[in-house]
Chains A and B, each alone.
Chain A
Amino acid sequence: MAVSPSVAAGRDIRLDLFRGLALWFIFVDHIPSNVASWLTVRNYGFSDATEIFVFISGYTAVIAYARMMQRDGWIRTTARIHRRVWQLYVAHILLFVAFTAQIVWVSEARDMPALIDEMELMGLGENPYQAILQAALLKFRPVNLDVLPLYIVLLAFFPFALPAIVRWPFAVIAVSLLLYAATCRYNWNLAGYPDHKVWYFNPMAWQVVFYVGACCAVLGAQIARLDRFRAPLCVLAALYLLFAAFIALSWQFNALGRLVPNWIGRIIYPIDKTNIDILRFLHFLAIAWLVRVSVPADSPWLNRRVLDPLRRCGEHSLLIFCIGTFLALTGQVIVDQYEGAFLSQVLVSIAGIAIMCAAAYLAAWFKGGGTRRPPLATQVAS
């Protein structure tokens, strides 16, 4: 099976860096009304870390598996991808159990039956057997456990798109856009649990981010042709980001909100997250374009030692994502205990990121066979 020679090389350290950054952002943003969120993208525009994470996942999936398909054939590659899907699934179930256990432990240790009460309302207490079955089917995803099921579904279908991605990337983008448009138009979604619940991140809509990311990995030459329009595209992207920042900040500062005319509001709202509103997607693409222009893959500062913790987190994204989600709940409980005190939010955010980094270094150490100095290789498959 011939693979187009234009599959991007696997040594783009920007992928691990920005994925690490997205993981930090997801952790910080999952602690409700956390002041540290002001250091993430969320408060400055429409899109947030989820788009970064899903896009890079699509991109790296092609880098990791396109060459494997060329070398070992489609069947072996599919098997490998599904082994990865299985790892994701196991991680999700483990996270589900750890998450639930943490709620039980906290509510018993602090004698707070209200917490158990809340859990009952999540659907666990009323019918725990059913809830466990539905969790195994990925239909029951309490609280912040929505992202991994999305990734699992996306990657499970990825082998069937992979041969097309390397041959006809534009056709894949067209099909992906069509599915996205139809999903938004007809309100398709997968069923959830309890009844009438749907997937908070609708895979049929969010696939567009994943597959555009995937196709970007084979369209390097075509994207480079856009450089002829580099200046106007940069201006357009920057203007759009400024507009989005203005709108997003108007939710925080009422004085700005009064400056937004109603006709703009009528056009842009609601900015749906479940079906990734087109404004969110464009916002992410604008960021991605500006990052591509301003941070070339060969920028020397990308190799600075200070960025190593970010890279390490990006390399071990599954582990770090799970730890981050778990810690976000811990952080929420701690911040609540101090009644949302400013200092508690800052300290919890710093401590959480420190733990995530420590775990990433530990994982790298294990991966290197427990030697003293593991090489910093770009592990795109993870």
Chain B
Amino acid sequence: MRRIAEWLAAGWLTLVLSLLPGWAGAQSMTHCRTTPELLDLGNPLAIARQSIAEQKKLRIMALGSSTTAGYGVSNPAYAYPAQLRIGLEKALPGIEIDVLNRGIGGQDVEEMAARMREEMQGNLPSLVVWQTGTNAAIRHMPLEKFERWLRGGLKLGKSLGADFVLMNLQYVPAVVAVADKEAYEKIMAAAAKEFDAGLFRRYDIMRGWYEDGMPYAQFVQLDGLHLNDFGQKCIGQLLTRAILKSLNGP
């Protein structure tokens, strides 16, 4: 018995050690990337532009669930709202950048739409990044209900006088397993169009990573749901690029 166990242990160790260099090489090749089309928000962000031009400041509110709150990252600075602030400060010198993090783990469109007025009044942002859809999809919220709350929230938020960017689902094992995840995505795309909001296509961006051969472990925590340090930083950097592209566009 012991002999066998020792041989097994030795064999496993040899296997791991021989595989490691190749694996490490593959890891270092994976870097944060996407195609330019996927960074097109499809919205000029007029209110944000005006705020930058007239007041030299840009206040952004990140409204969302655990991704926004930065669940499980080894440093809150890696969460995408913090990355957005760091990136915009670098890209827009002389402009006062303020990113308010309004992420509460476990929430979805219903709770977020309900607290939207309270969050936005008082310190009205020029741009709201609304990260939603993932919790709704993994909990199988009825599509019709999802659509109703999403549109209600967008209508209210726009009426308070801010630009909106919807950030859709994350491409992770827990979401990929859901049968009608793309239906949630479509509802978000349609609502963005109808209410003149931008759409940050996180789902397609992350699917691109996976299909390019990046393993889930590179960008997802081991619970199969939340973005890890790399995933958060990369989404934050890509969102920064997408927003800058919109602000500098025609």
Residues of A at the B interface (CB closer than 8 Å) are 32-33, 35, 38-39, 42-43, 46, 48, 114, 117-118, 121-123, 142-144, 187, 196-198, 200, 248, 250-254, 257, 260, 262-266, 268-273, 277, 294, 299, 301, 332, 339-340, 342, 345
Contact = CB atoms under 8 A, between A and B. Distances in A.
Interface string B3-24: 0010000000100100111011
Most B Cβ at <10 Å: residue of A35, A301, A332? A35
A251 B173 contact: yes
Contacts of A294: 1, 5
Interface string B68-105: 01001011110000100010000000000000000111
Interface of B: 1-2, 5, 13, 16, 19-21, 23-25, 27-28, 69, 72, 74-77, 82, 86, 103-106, 138, 173-174, 176-179, 210, 213, 215-218, 220-226, 229-230
B222 A122 contact: no
B74 A270 contact: no
A270 B225 contact: yes
Contacts of B77: 117-118, 121-122
Contacts of A257: 173, 215-216
A185 to B, nearest CB: 13
26 contacts: A32-B74, A33-B218, A38-B23, A42-B222, A117-B77, A117-B86, A121-B76, A142-B76, A196-B69, A198-B105, A250-B216, A251-B217, A251-B224, A254-B216, A260-B173, A262-B177, A264-B177, A265-B173, A266-B177, A266-B178, A270-B223, A277-B223, A294-B1, A339-B28, A340-B28, A345-B24
Given A118-B75, A342-B20, A342-B21, A251 B223 contact: no
B20 A196 contact: no
**Residue in B76, B82, B216, B220 whose Cβ sees the most chain A Cβ within 10 Å:** B76
A197 B215 contact: no
A32 B229 contact: yes
B75 A143 contact: yes
Nearest to A269: B174
Contacts of A248: 222
10 pairs of A and B residues whose beta carbons are closest in the complex: A265-B177, A269-B174, A270-B225, A118-B77, A342-B24, A251-B216, A269-B224, A121-B77, A251-B217, A270-B174
A294 to B, nearest CB: 7
Given A196-B104, A254-B213, A294-B5, 10 more contacts: A122-B77, A248-B222, A251-B215, A251-B224, A252-B215, A262-B179, A265-B173, A271-B222, A271-B223, A340-B28
Nearest to A42: B222
Contacts of A271: 222-224
B75 to A, nearest CB: 6
A269 B106 contact: no
A198 B105 CA distance: 9
A48 B105 CA distance: 23
A35 B223 contact: no
A253 B223 contact: no
A129 B33 CA distance: 40
Contacts of A265: 173-174, 176-177, 224
A142 B230 CA distance: 18
Contacts of A200: 72
Contacts of A198: 105
Contacts of B23: 35, 38
